[in-house]
Amino acid sequence: MVLTSTFPRWPGDTEPRFVYDLCLKLAESFEMHVVAPHTDGAERLERWNGLHVHRFQYFPEQWQSLAYEGGILTKLRKNPLIAVQVPFFLGSQILLVRRLLERLSFDAVHAHWILPQGLCAVLAQAGRRRKVPILCTTHGGDLFGLRGALFDALRRWVLSRSAAVTVVSRAMAERMRTSGITTPCHVIPMGTDLKALFTPDPRTPRRTATVLFVGRLVEKKGVRYLIQAFGHLRRRLPEAELWIVGSGPDVAFLKKQAASIAPVRSLDWREERVPCLDFPVCPGAITFFGPVPHGELPYFYRTATVTAVPSVVAQSGDQEGLGLVLVEAMGCGCPVIASDLPAIRDVIRPGETGLVVPPKESRALAEAIGTALSQPALRQKLSNDARRWALQALDWTTIEEKYRTTLTEVMQRSR
């Protein structure tokens, strides 16, 4: 049984799908049941590409607004009033998990995020004679973004009742160690499809001065600093353009900021439905594409000149757990420039698989982008080295094998 709060709601959804992709891979070895929040328009129970998907309704359907489209923590900070839904979210998830445990015989529970999914997995088994072993995976938000003695105590309590925990970067493993957590910890990043989907395509012409951002429009992604950097860059390279792909609660603020710096376009990918290589070049402009389905992202990575990942540590302490956008761009042969954050160091080796700059330093970011745009030989070297490394380390074939081995070890505890 897999517990998650981030999962595609329907085919073609633009929600992050790393949990879904991992489940698809693991379904080749295990029978997979996924428990995720319900939302308006999604099925409550369905069989999807071999996965059994169970969605729990936690509030009147038209008012459910805690999950999806930006993430739970971000939504709570933007609108504290929706915190009223939290106890219903937890209670509904616990009840569904308990019903499934009573109805079916599971060998393991894989909880994505210690809080709240790991907590729900533990509470759902309270009083049960046979405990199903739990594997917790933290992706960063619940480790970095939930600070304070209460959350530290909750994490330790959940993990003391878990068979193992995985983290997606070495920086997170260090954070676990310094928090006094002694549960067996494995560093296993999320992967992506670097053999069939995120691949180079020599038939797709790459533009000469297009900077790409892909991700949620939330504070920790640092898009405001990329927009500032583009303001500096366009004075040096007036032919440059910036593409922003994604949606989130900060979109209105970012569009207003962008309009004070450069001409702004808004294109709805759902309406355009054409490869981005057909979009006219707009020198000096910033284009917001909105959310784009996962399967269509390679168009952007193959067409852009460089991909920027300007992530920062948010005021809450939340920060990147890994940064799969880096890996997707690398797979498509698009050079990457990113903030020098602990988790990102697992992916970028400066000058070898990408370029790094200090977080929140928009002038340094503009300088690095300008350097990459003006040096084709450097871009080619970064592109070749990065794809070679990513294909070996972060393709789903490698990552699925590590998770299958870990889950098999966890399952031994139920026998």
- What pLDDT, in 10s, does the model give residues 348-368? 999 999 999 999 999 999 999
What is the per-residue pLDDT for 273? 52
CA 54, CA 4: separation in Å to the nearest integer?
A: 11
Are 170 and 226 contained in the same domain?
A: no
What is the per-residue pLDDT for 178? 83
What is the per-residue pLDDT for 177? 85
- Interior angle at CA 279, CA 243 and CA 205, nearest 5: 90
Are 248 and 360 contained in the same domain?
A: yes
Render pLDDT for 217-253 as a digit per residue (tens, 0 to 9).
999 999 999 999 999 999 999 999 999 999 988 999 9
Domain of residue 278 covers 210-393
Percentage helix, strand, coil for the chain under 3-state DSSP, each rounded to 5: 45, 15, 40
Average pLDDT of the residues in 322-348: 94
Are 8 and 150 contained in the same domain?
A: yes
Are 381 and 304 contained in the same domain?
A: yes
Number of residues in the chain = 415
Residue 222, SS3? coil
Q: Is the pLDDT of residue 376 over 70?
A: yes
Render pLDDT for 177-200 as a digit per residue (tens, 0 to 9).
888 888 889 999 999 999 999 999
What is the per-residue pLDDT for 141? 80
Q: What is the pTM of this model?
A: 0.89
Are 62 and 84 contained in the same domain?
A: yes
Q: For residue 381, what is the domain's CATH number?
A: 3.40.50.2000
Is 199 domain-assigned? Answer: no
Q: Is the pLDDT of residue 415 over 60?
A: no
Residues in CB range of 321: below 8 A, 6 or more apart:
138, 139, 140, 141, 143, 144, 167, 168, 169, 172, 343
State the total domains in the chain: 2
CA 6, CA 318: separation in Å to the nearest integer?
A: 17
Is 292 domain-assigned? Answer: yes
Are 138 and 276 contained in the same domain?
A: no
Render pLDDT for 146-169 as a digit per residue (tens, 0 to 9).
888 899 899 999 999 999 999 999
Are 242 and 366 contained in the same domain?
A: yes
Compute the CA torsion angle 306, 284, 245, 75 (nearest 10 deg).
Answer: 120
Is 202 domain-assigned? Answer: no
Is 203 domain-assigned? Answer: no
CA 123, CA 300: separation in Å to the nearest integer?
A: 43
